[in-house]
Chains A and B, each alone.
Chain A
Amino acid sequence: MGLLTFSRGGVHPPENKISAGKKIEFAGLPEQVIIPVTQHLGAPSKVLVDKGAEVKTGQLIAQAEGFVSANIHSSVTGKVLKVDSFPDTSGYRRTAIQIQVEEDQWAEGIDTGEELLETIEGTSEEIRNKILAAGIVGLGGATFPSHIKLMTPKGKKAEYLIINGVECEPYLTADHALMMEKSKELIVGIRVLMRGLGVEKAILGIENNKPDAIARMTEVSASDPAIRVQALKVKYPQGGEKQLVEAILKREVPSGGLPIDVGVVVFNVGTAYASYLAVQKNRPLIERVVTVTGKSVSNPSNFLTRIGTPASYLIEKAGGLPGDTAKVINGGPMMGKAVSNIDIPIVKGSSGILIIRDKEASRGEVQPCIRCTKCITVCPMGLEPYLLMTLAERAKHEMLESNKVMDCIECGSCSYTCPSSRPLLDYIRLGKAEVGKIIRTRKAV
């Protein structure tokens, strides 16, 4: 099949995949780690350890609380220094467990070997339980607890598993590196997810700027007729799950719905790899690949990082903070979060640390909307960002809802394009938050 893509909108930011081709490198153990209890969508986990406790690598230290929640495991061996509030990416303080790091001693029952284990044992339910136990959440950034996604709600049927190997954000190359170096494990991970979900067909979507990954994954999946690789045109936000489902299967997820409404479940390649480790090796989610990159960074890399490692530690390993740094982003340039403090910990959803130089960091001066319609042209969800911004500024919540503000995926294409440098997404997010509150109150009544 030729190159597929989504039908509406999209932009083409410069790719800047500076760290592409860099082999995954273990970042090493920092002196201390800070492991937050909210690294996932849903309820914060319940802390199981106290100050002074000795913990082993892979040991459960916080338990999923409630239905939508996830387990959290210690990513290191060491002593718990304290359980207190520490600043997260936003600077606001949240409960986290601070551990003084010692040499690795893995918890019992975990297979730390490198051998590829291809035979998958267990029923769908057993696999789901293993994934729940291992604390697997969506590693693409949304961090939704994966075991829940594997349970199809009543009345819906899962037909396809789509694996997201798109990595449409500029600069980030973690998923690319995984596909190149862990391709065989990834295939087993995909099969694990297929069994957990109960589907017979899986499609791995990869953007065309990674021809080596497309070739490698096609080669490795050739023997399995259930898994196929689909090459996609390079266009942001191809990695958004709604856009991905539309591009590959030509099915549109309904407004306010989920991919399961059209018979699909989407997982990131990182999640698929973590699922392999969880089910085949009993390894809980304690580390992930993080791209550290930026035009002035001396050693841009893909680091295999233990959860809780401070971002500053990774930045040092990448050559230190460059002198012309203006912004440090947790994530990619389109949807990542700018931090005010570089000691914040790497969490399950951290896909990259991007350092932006001062000449590229400032927003332009805000000018009035000239109604050029470019924001409408680029919006992948068919919305009208210029209108949503004005409605959000004036708190017109009813009109925001009727103009589908809740459909916004916050991809940033509108703000990226606006010739008047208007802070479209800033206000749209505000509008979404307010309308979201109103909808939740309405549902509760």
Chain B
Amino acid sequence: MNKLIVSPSPHAHSSESVPKLMYGVIISMLPAFAASVYFFGISMVIITGVSILSCILFEYLIQKYLLKVKPTHLDGSALLTGMLLAFCLPANIPFWMVMIGALAAIGIGKMTFGGLGNNIFNPALVGRVFLFISFPVAMTSYPEPGQLMKYTDATTGATPLGVLAEGIGNSTAGEIMAEVPGYMDLFLGKMMGSAGEVAAFALLLGLIYMLVRKIITWHIPVSILGTVAVFTGILWLANPDSYADPLFHLLTGGLMLGAIYMATDYVTSPMTKKGMVIYGILIGVLTVLIRVFGAYPEGVQFAILIMNAFVPLLNKFIKPKRFGKEVQHG
């Protein structure tokens, strides 16, 4: 018989593991991936493939040759970042830009902070914002859905939010709504937008899967979507001509993708339930402020990154409810 093993207690472990969680998230993204391929065809497959492979490759190269530590590129986190990055890019973006985005995401967003578990900002969003600022034209021209065999040569147009932002000074919200796809189309994803953000229903299916598998809790997505609905609802009720209705805001842009996948990233979100709700509410507020009063038509990416910076503060001051009051020293 082999030697006895000695360790401190506990001597049992649940079935939880990091790969189980990572692959659980990846599986939940499959409906959205399928919807994207349905709308954007081969371009979606190309950018997703390039993004995933680049993220994994860059993580390996940086860890092995720059940091000289044991490479952990196959633990599932680089794969997940790659998928998320591809989801928030326009499907017609050239593959070399995707690679630059992957380098920014992994190199700047993750590795400079110390690798898995140590980053403050969501790496996929860091990559996206880096591309957004470096290549504004490429990042704001979205292909029309349905061009399954076209890639960088697809015909492009503006997103519903873009149309809203452009038109709001000259026409009423109601008139603009007539120009954009109807609610059912928005819900199903038949609109211009980033590859993975268009199909609201597919993203919601993913959310339900993650809630059932207990990968995430409801607090962050509900807080964000709820706040956006309430805030835009108040604005719309106050002045229906100047502001679009809440349903429109919920279904367009990167809000669904951001609320369900980006803001719920473990590493960059708060540790307590109360903290998560505050985080979600503030993201919602910032998103609406940027969308309605800010210079950009879409604000989710910036809202999430700004709130990421506040998470350490939220963690420091919001503690879970401790068991038992402090004993009064007589």
Give the interface of A toward B (CB within 8 A): 8, 11, 13, 155, 170, 242, 246, 252-257, 261, 321, 323, 325-329, 331, 333-340, 342, 354, 356, 358, 360-364, 367-374, 376, 379-384, 386, 403-404, 407, 410, 412, 415-421, 423, 425-426, 429
Contact = CB atoms under 8 A, between A and B. Distances in A.
A338 B2 contact: no
B218 to A, nearest CB: 13
A384 B323 contact: no
B238 interface: no
Interface string B304-329: 00000000000000011111111100
Interface stretch (B4-12, B31-39, B165-173): B4-12
A337 B9 contact: yes
A338 B320 contact: no
Nearest to B13: A416
A417 B12 contact: no
A261 B11 contact: no
B10 A364 contact: no
Interface string B1-41: 11011111111111011101100000000000000000000
A327 B4 contact: yes
26 contacts: A242-B323, A253-B323, A254-B325, A257-B324, A257-B327, A321-B1, A323-B1, A325-B4, A334-B10, A338-B8, A338-B11, A339-B6, A361-B5, A363-B7, A367-B75, A367-B116, A370-B18, A370-B116, A370-B266, A370-B267, A381-B323, A381-B324, A403-B319, A407-B322, A415-B13, A416-B14
Given A368-B118, A369-B117, A338 B5 contact: yes
A255 B12 contact: no
B138 interface: no
Kindly name the residue among A8, A342, A368, A421 whose own CB sees the greatest number of chain B CB atoms within 10 A: A368
B4 A417 contact: no
B5 A326 contact: yes
Contacts of B17: 364, 419, 421
Contacts of A361: 5, 11
Contacts of B117: 368-371
A256 B327 contact: yes
A426 B326 CA distance: 25
A253 B324 contact: yes
B57 interface: no
A156 B43 CA distance: 74
Contacts of B1: 321, 323, 325
B69 to A, nearest CB: 11
**Chain B residues touching A, majority SS:** loop
A8 B321 contact: yes
Nearest to B320: A382
A252 B325 contact: yes
Which of B321, B322, B326 has the most CB atoms of chain A within a 10 A radius of its CB? B322
Given A252-B325, A370-B116, A376 B320 contact: yes
A412 B10 contact: yes
Nearest to B117: A368
Given A13-B12, A361-B11, A419 B4 contact: no
A428 B224 CA distance: 35
Contact of A360 (B10, B12, B267, B330): B12
Given A328-B4, A335-B10, A373-B266, 15 more contacts: A13-B12, A255-B325, A255-B326, A256-B326, A261-B327, A327-B4, A333-B10, A334-B9, A356-B11, A361-B5, A370-B267, A371-B269, A410-B9, A418-B16, A426-B8
Nearest to A321: B1
Nearest to A423: B8
A255 B322 CA distance: 8
B120 to A, nearest CB: 11
Contact of A326 (B2, B10, B21, B323): B2
A170 B12 contact: yes
Nearest to A262: B324
Contact of A363 (B13, B14, B116, B319): B13
B272 interface: yes
Contact of B319 (A364, A380, A384): A384
A383 B13 contact: no
B182 interface: no
A155 B5 CA distance: 48
A315 to B, nearest CB: 12
B240 to A, nearest CB: 40
Contacts of B10: 333-335, 412, 415-416, 425
> Which of the listed residues A339, A373, A382 has the most CB atoms from chain B within 10 Å of its own CB?
A373
Interface string B249-275: 000000000000000001101011000
A383 B4 contact: no
Nearest to B275: A373
A417 B272 CA distance: 17
Contacts of B136: none
Nearest to A257: B327
Contacts of A370: 18, 21, 77, 116-117, 266-267
B13 A404 contact: no
Contacts of A253: 323-324
